[in-house]
Chain A
Amino acid sequence: MAEPTGQTAFKRRRRIRRTVHFGEPLPPGAHTFRAAWLCGPALVWVTMFMLVPLLFVVALSFAQRGDAGEIVWRFTWENYERLFGHGSLGFDPVQPLILARSLGVGFATAGLCLLIGLPVAFFIASLPRRWKSVALTLVVIPFWTNLLIRTYAWQLLLSPEGWLADILTTAGMIPAGTALYPGWPAVMVAMVCDYLPFMILPLYASVEKLDWLLAEAAADLGASPGRMFWHAVVPQIRPGMIAGGVLVFLPATGQFVIPDLLGGAKLALLGNAVQQQFGSSRDWPFGSAIAVVALLVMVAGLWLHTRVTNGRREVSLP
């Protein structure tokens, strides 16, 4: 039976037209009035410095670039057409490739993080209560340290004089003096390293709630461990898998620092493209169009995330 809480519905018919808020009778309207004073400043702030700038970006994505890089406010679809391969000399694959590459990197990172994160989540869930929080804190610490520094650290680790190169050279896998970056492997290693905590936390939350009776029942019915895992365990931790996947996919797709430092010019992602347009290319309208696409990817991801978590969207925090 639902016990009444502090709030009481604030619309009321008939004779008594007041509400009670934690023992305080309020005339109609007073409740909303106070809420406006409490929540107003922060909400106005976020609207002003987040939503309004984003609206500017959307508007700008339909504008044109002047010859000197200035903005010409004339409506056009050109930026989006360019983004999807419409060049002056027919189909130009550079921009569509960037989009495809970004999505590819996002999915690959999410997939790798899932593969690596699952056993870790199971391991943490199997620890005694005290050690669980220690393990979770350990997972979370790298996430809260500067991403730029961690990415730069991979430069050190993967440099020709670094230990990894030494080991691989000794093993005869690469010729001496080869740098392990820039390139795909370096980008992926850094991505997985940076976003693994995003995957482990929601996965752990799901694994922790797992009903092992179902799995045991499946085992009793003669299911092999693989089938048991697939049919009795995976469906239960699917929300965690999807939540983690979205949490990894979103920032990975929009990454700017990692491909910039470890990928080189040929491996530009959406983030780098945006930076380039707003920076050296001075084509803000086109940069805005790319940003809008990144935003749409975010909205789609969030929609999925909200659906699997039933609207209880929580950011992974320690």
Chain B
Amino acid sequence: MQPADPKSNSALAVECQHLTRRFGKIEALAGVSLNVRRGEFFSLLGPSGCGKTTLLRIIAGLDLPDSGGLRIGGIESLRLPAWKRPVNTVFQSYALFPHLSVSENIAFGLRMKRLSAIEITRRTTSVMELTQIMPLAARHPNELSGGQKQRVALARAIVNEPQVLLLDEPLGALDLKLRKELQLELHHLQQRLEMTFVHVTHDQDEAMTMSDRVAVMNAGRVEQLGTPEEIYERPKTRFVAEFIGECNLFEGKFISRDGSRLEADSPLGRLRIDLPSTAIELAEQGKLLLGIRPERISLVGGHAGDNRVLGRIEEITFNGAESRYRINLGKVGLRVTELNTGRRDVGLFVGDSVEVALAPGNIFLLEG
């Protein structure tokens, strides 16, 4: 199957320009601008109530922004009704039609397009095979399990071969095991269909494993947009750093800068920091917010040129694949994670003094 032919040759599937939406006093969207590229798996990640569903509904045409612009496939779309937009949605609660069977549910979109009966049967069957729900064809939605409903909702949307598929927490209602399984399937499916997926989730693992790019949202704003690696390795704001993965945060004071090499004073002592080019202008302020991931800190070894600080182990938690340490550095504590490589002769115990190594390239600088 191929996605519907793009009407324009824009490389962008969805362009949102400064969208705002208020519900009374609540600002559900406070100026969201983002672009989704054609054929990518794009995730909107954020805590509950941050405006993800609202944004998705605006793209689908089920809601209007108070101001802003929206283009889908390069075409100005805010004035288009939902049924004329080349997008389809997998709803958070599935919204399967209770009075139609599974195959009728899936055929609904094609019937509305007045395709021939043969064509409808052909496409419905192929999508049901793709999503492995062939045996369920004659059942009604109330006779399906949660996972099966999810597949039907997905099939019902992709059978229309939309330019953009919108998924609103499609796996949210499923148990963990099923979720992991379907995450993978969804990812493969997207690669096979080469369709643009805009996927909403509040589960960071889900966003990280499946997406080409992620927009992290908070309180109606996009805090950061980038590949999962970028967002994890170089979080831009305090919110992103704390929302995704674990993070040690501490304040610092600007001392000097030499190209991309920064020197700062911090509760850990004087630190050397390597900055990516994008973050350099941030560093000119007097006060800095610094962060480092627990697994990027070495308790033993490290490399030449690392920042080194002395501390005492306060707590060790063995966690199978890894061990977590809490290190007391006097003024601040650090969380450190070390992979258990099997050589447990390192012999670290609570109360031991250790030399903590922080590589200059692993420390990042945050806004606010």
Contacts and interface: CB of A to CB of B under 8 A. Distances in A.
Direct contact of A and B (CB under 8 A): yes
Interface residues of B, number: 22
A9 interface: yes
B65 interface: yes
Interface string B55-82: 0010011111111000000000011011
B93 interface: yes
Contacts of B83: 23
A169 B24 CA distance: 74
Contacts of B23: 9
Contact of A3 (B53, B65, B81, B82): B53
B64 A20 contact: yes
A24 B57 contact: no
Contacts of A15: 66-67
23 contacts: A1-B48, A3-B92, A4-B53, A4-B54, A4-B57, A12-B64, A13-B66, A14-B66, A14-B67, A15-B66, A15-B67, A16-B78, A18-B64, A19-B64, A20-B61, A20-B62, A20-B63, A20-B82, A22-B82, A23-B61, A23-B83, A25-B61, A25-B64
A298 to B, nearest CB: 37
Interface in A48-100: none
B66 A3 contact: no
A306 interface: no
Nearest to B26: A2
B49 interface: yes
Contacts of B61: 20, 23, 25
Nearest to B81: A24
Interface of A: 1, 3-4, 6, 8-9, 12-16, 18-20, 22-25
5 interchain residue pairs of minimum CB distance: A23-B82, A15-B67, A14-B66, A20-B64, A24-B81
Contacts of B53: 3-4
Nearest to B65: A16
Given A3-B92, A9-B23, A24 B65 contact: no
Contacts of A3: 53, 92-93
Contacts of B67: 14-16
Given A15-B66, A16-B64, A24-B81, 17 more contacts: A1-B48, A1-B49, A3-B92, A6-B62, A9-B24, A13-B66, A14-B66, A14-B67, A19-B64, A20-B61, A20-B62, A20-B63, A20-B82, A22-B62, A23-B60, A23-B61, A25-B61
Nearest to B67: A15
A15 B93 CA distance: 32
A14 B67 CA distance: 7
A155 to B, nearest CB: 48
B81 A25 contact: yes
Q: Main SS of chain A's interface residues? A: loop
A20 B80 CA distance: 11
Given A16-B78, A23-B81, A23-B82, A8 B48 contact: no
Nearest to B79: A25
Contacts of A13: 66
B66 A23 contact: no
Contacts of A18: 64
Contacts of A20: 61-64, 82
Q: Which of A8, A15, A19, A20 has the most chain B CB atoms inside 10 A of its CB?
A: A20
Contacts of A16: 64-67, 78
Given A1-B48, A4-B53, A4-B57, A23 B62 contact: yes
A16 B61 CA distance: 14
Given A3-B92, A9-B23, A16-B66, A24 B49 contact: no
A19 B64 CA distance: 7
A18 B64 CA distance: 8
A4 B24 CA distance: 13
A24 B62 CA distance: 8
A4 B63 contact: yes
A24 B67 CA distance: 18
B141 to A, nearest CB: 18
A12 B49 CA distance: 21
A16 B19 CA distance: 11
A297 B65 CA distance: 49
A13 B66 CA distance: 7
A85 to B, nearest CB: 55
B66 A12 contact: yes
Contacts of A19: 64
A194 B81 CA distance: 54
A18 B48 CA distance: 27
A1 to B, nearest CB: 5
Nearest to A24: B81
A101 to B, nearest CB: 52
Interface string B1-34: 0000000000000000000000110000000000
B69 to A, nearest CB: 10
A4 to B, nearest CB: 6
A25 B78 CA distance: 9
A98 B324 CA distance: 85
Contacts of B64: 8, 12, 16, 18-20, 25
A24 B82 CA distance: 6
B277 to A, nearest CB: 37
B217 to A, nearest CB: 14
Interface string B35-64: 000000000000011000110010011111
Contacts of A8: 63-64
A19 B57 CA distance: 13
A269 B53 CA distance: 60
Nearest to B48: A1
B97 to A, nearest CB: 14
Nearest to B20: A14
